[in-house]
């Protein structure tokens, strides 16, 4: 198929009729673009065709197209139509919880998280202030106090990781880690739920304290390694859970 050929019958999924239809439609089209089902330079179906495909009004489709245009995934040409941008997805970094429903995507995001947060821990060890170190200690104390409640424990663990990001004194790390905390929150809570009451919780507590100790000591190498070890073990546990879930019942 040539790059400019029109897609006439895209295999979109059914809409669940959420509160915000334009967002769901934009998400489905964005997914087709990221998976290369819609190629760069390819013309999308018309507003009428999309509205018929999704079973919504043209105004709803128009709003979805506007969202995709704003985020750099498509470009419109007056009198011609909407086309997949040649650099689709490269202008704006974004992750959505829906993407993380796939095990392979979640693993890739965790791999990215490992690299980013390990670097953040190293920077925090070099740049943290005494006030930020006190905040880290308080955040970790709250995590330690919530080991029996997996919901609260998960939220407080995320707060601790965000405090590490704050201690980098780099606003871009803070923004990026904030984005991660929003989209992987469910995965973190699942891990916390499965770990509560097991030996893994004691290991998690020890790993958190190793991260804090390295940051307090100003040891960027140890902080990087401690954070990497902590997140990689979490990723390994998540993979083991998914593999166990996929096994046929004996």
First to last CA, the chain: 47
pLDDT (tens digit, 0 to 9) for every residue of the chain, 250 residues total? Answer: 444 555 545 567 666 555 678 888 988 898 888 778 888 999 999 999 999 999 999 999 999 999 898 888 899 888 889 999 888 766 566 666 666 666 777 788 888 889 999 999 999 999 999 999 999 999 999 999 987 788 888 889 999 999 999 999 999 998 888 878 777 777 778 777 777 777 778 888 999 999 999 999 999 999 999 999 999 998 888 777 667 766 554 4
* Tokens standing for residue 99: 């993407």
SS3 content of the chain, % helix, strand, coil (to 5): 65, 5, 30
Vertex 103 angle, CA 99 and 109, to 5°: 60
Instruction: Report the 10 Å Cβ neighbour count for 116.
Output: 17
Q: For 63-73, give one letter per residue: b (16+ CB within 10 A) or e.
A: bbbebbeebeb
Which among 179, 165, 28 is positioned nearest to 92, based on CA atoms?
179
Domains and their CATH numbers in the chain: 1-92 (1.10.10.10), 99-246 (1.20.120.530)
């Amino acid at each position: 198929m040539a790059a400019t050929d029109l897609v006439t019958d895209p295999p979109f999924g059914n809409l669940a009729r959420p509160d915000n239809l334009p967002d769901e439609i934009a998400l489905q089209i964005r997914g087709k673009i990221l998976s290369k089902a819609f190629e760069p330079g390819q013309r999308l179906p018309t507003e009428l065709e999309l509205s018929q495909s999704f079973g919504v009004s043209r105004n709803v489709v128009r709003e979805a197209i506007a969202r995709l245009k704003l985020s750099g995934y498509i470009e419109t040409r007056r009198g011609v139509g909407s086309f997949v941008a040649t650099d689709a997805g490269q202008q704006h970094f974004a992750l959505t919880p829906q993407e993380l429903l796939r095990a392979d995507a979640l693993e890739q995001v965790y791999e990215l998280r490992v690299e980013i947060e390990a670097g953040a821990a190293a920077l925090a060890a070099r740049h943290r202030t005494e006030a930020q170190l006190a905040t880290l200690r308080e955040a970790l104390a709250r995590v330690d106090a919530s080991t029996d409640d997996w919901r609260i424990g998960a939220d407080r663990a995320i707060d601790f990781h965000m405090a590490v990001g704050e201690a980098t004194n780099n606003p871009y790390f803070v923004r990026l880690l904030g984005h991660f905390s929003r989209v992987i929150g469910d995965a973190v809570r699942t891990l916390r739920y499965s770990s509560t009451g097991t030996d893994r919780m004691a290991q998690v507590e020890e790993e958190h304290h190793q991260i804090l100790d390295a940051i307090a000591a100003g040891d960027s190498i140890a902080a990087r390694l401690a954070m990497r070890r902590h997140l990689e073990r979490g990723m390994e546990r998540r993979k083991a859970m998914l593999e166990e879930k996929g096994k046929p019942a004996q």
